[in-house]
Structure 1
Amino acid sequence: MYSKDQASQIKQEFWTTFGQYIAPQLSAEGSRINWINYKTGVKHLFFKMQADKRHASIAIEITHPDVGMQELVFEQFKEFRRLLENQLEEEWDWELHTHDEYGKTISRIYTVLPNVSIFKKEDWPALISFFKPRMIALDEFWNDAQAGFEVFK
């Protein structure tokens, strides 16, 4: 078991490593991008990567405090579902009005890589191989679809 500081340091080391690995990858528009803190340009809409001691996940999270607005954004993603799945080359799970780790109501579209740990360096290649192509695909999707979300800015 790691202390809180040790766990934080290991996580920071992983995300730094991942950031260095993916940094040369340009966005779909051909520009440099901060892949770890991806900016969608829409308030309360995030592309989020997470990893802990049991699994990793990547998600589109809709965190608008108004659940009605969450539902509208979620419904807009449904309109783009085929494009999203074509870019990702896989189907993700869709959850309208679920709860995050803090009990806050969110909606998300996500996928999980089970049985990996951010605390095991031997799992880092699997984590990087999980996150990188999916973030690139999300960026390509967003490059094509973001105009359809302008109303939510």
Structure 2
Amino acid sequence: MYSKAETSKIRADFWITFGRYMKPVPNAEGRKINWPNYKTGIRNIYFRMKAERGFASIGIELGHADEELQELYFEQFVQLKKIFESTVGEEWEWKLHQTNEFGQKISKIELVLPHVNVMEQKDWPDIISFLKPRIIALDEFWSLVKPGFEGL
């Protein structure tokens, strides 16, 4: 069992390692980017990457407090689903109005890699190999569709 401080340090070390690994990779527009803290530039739309005990995940999270607006954003993504799937190259789970770990209603489009543990350094290559191509694909998708979200 790890102490809270050890757990925090191991998680931080993972994200630092991931960031260093991704640093030379430019975004879809050829610019430098902080991949672990990806900013979509649109309020209430987030790209989330998680590395936990038991799984890793990546996804788009819609966090607007107004559930009707959140649903509007979600429906806009649904209209772009064919572009999304052709860009990421696989099917992800689409979840409207889920409750997150903080009790907030969110909607998300995500993919989960089960049976990995960020606390085990031996799993880091699998987690990084899972996250890397997908965050790059999300960035490519976002560069195509972001203008459609800029006035909402």
Q: Percent identity?
A: 50
Tell me the residue number matched to 1:81: 81
Tell me the residue number matched to 2:26: 26
Matched residues in 2 for 1:139 and 1:78: separation? Answer: 17
Tell me the residue number matched to 2:127: 127
Matched residues in 2 for 1:151 and 1:85: separation? Answer: 24
How much does 1:148 deviate?
1.1
Matched residues in 2 for 1:76 and 1:23: separation? Answer: 31
Q: TM-score, normalised by structure 1?
A: 0.98
Is there any run of 5+ residues in structure 2 with no aligned partner, and where?
none
Q: TM-score, normalised by structure 2?
A: 0.99
- Amino acid of the structure 1 residue aligned with 2:29: E
Matched residues in 1 for 2:49 and 2:126: separation? Answer: 14
Aligned with 1:43: secondary structure? coil
Tell me the residue number matched to 2:104: 104
Aligned positions of 1:25-64 closer than 5 A: 25-64=25-64
- Amino acid of the structure 2 residue aligned with 1:84: F
Tell me the residue number matched to 1:136: 136
Aligned with 1:116: secondary structure? strand
**Consecutive aligned runs of 4 or more in structure 1 exceeding 4 Å deviation:** none
How much does 1:51 deviate?
1.1
How much does 1:25 deviate?
0.2
Is there any run of 5+ residues in structure 1 with no aligned partner, and where?
none
Tell me the residue number matched to 1:151: 151
Tell me the residue number matched to 2:72: 72
- Amino acid of the structure 2 residue aligned with 1:85: E
Aligned with 2:111: secondary structure? strand
State the aligned residue count: 152
How much does 1:56 deviate?
0.5
**CA displacement, residues 103-123 of structure 1 (integer Å, 9 cap, x when unaligned):** 100000000000000001110
How much does 1:151 deviate?
1.9
Matched residues in 2 for 1:98 and 1:150: separation? Answer: 24
CA RMSD across the alignment = 0.6
Matched residues in 2 for 1:142 and 1:6: separation? Answer: 35
- Amino acid of the structure 2 residue aligned with 1:80: L
